[in-house]
A and B are shown apart, each in its own frame.
Chain A
Amino acid sequence: MPELYHTAAKRVVVIPAYNESSVLTSVANSLLEKGYSIIIVDDGSNPSLSSHIQSLPVYYLRHRANLGQGAALQTGFDFAKKLNPELVISFDADGQHDVNCIPSLLEPLLRNEADVVLGSRFLSAEKTNIPFTKKILLQIARGVNYLFSGLLLSDAHNGLRAFNRAALDKISITENRMAHASEIIFEIKKHGLRFKEIPVLIVYTDYSKKKGQSSWDSIKILFDLILHKLFK
Chain B
Amino acid sequence: MNGIQLVLLTGVAFICLFIVIQLKKKLLDLVLLLALVAAAVLFILWPDLTTKLAQKLGVDRGSDLVFYISILIFWFVVLKLYARIRQLEKSFTQIIREDALKKASGPSSNEPDSK
Contact = CB atoms under 8 A, between A and B. Distances in A.
B86 A3 contact: no
Q: How large is the interface on A (under 10, 10 to 19, 20 to 34, 35 or more residues)?
A: 20 to 34
Contact of A3 (B83, B100, B108): B108
B90 A174 contact: yes
A75 interface: yes
B104 to A, nearest CB: 5
A215 interface: no
B3 interface: no
Contact of B93 (A54, A67, A230): A67
Interface string B81-115: 01100100110110011011101111111111000
Contacts of A135: none
A217 B100 CA distance: 27
A169 interface: no
Nearest to B86: A231
B contacts with A: majority SS: helix
B100 to A, nearest CB: 4
Contact of A78 (B99, B101, B105, B112): B101
B98 to A, nearest CB: 9
A78 B97 contact: yes
A103 B65 CA distance: 64
A2 B105 contact: yes
Given A6-B107, A58-B107, A64-B96, A75 B86 contact: no
26 contacts: A2-B107, A5-B106, A54-B110, A54-B112, A55-B112, A57-B108, A57-B110, A58-B107, A59-B105, A60-B104, A61-B103, A62-B100, A63-B96, A63-B97, A63-B99, A63-B100, A64-B99, A64-B100, A65-B96, A71-B96, A75-B100, A174-B90, A176-B89, A176-B93, A231-B82, A231-B86
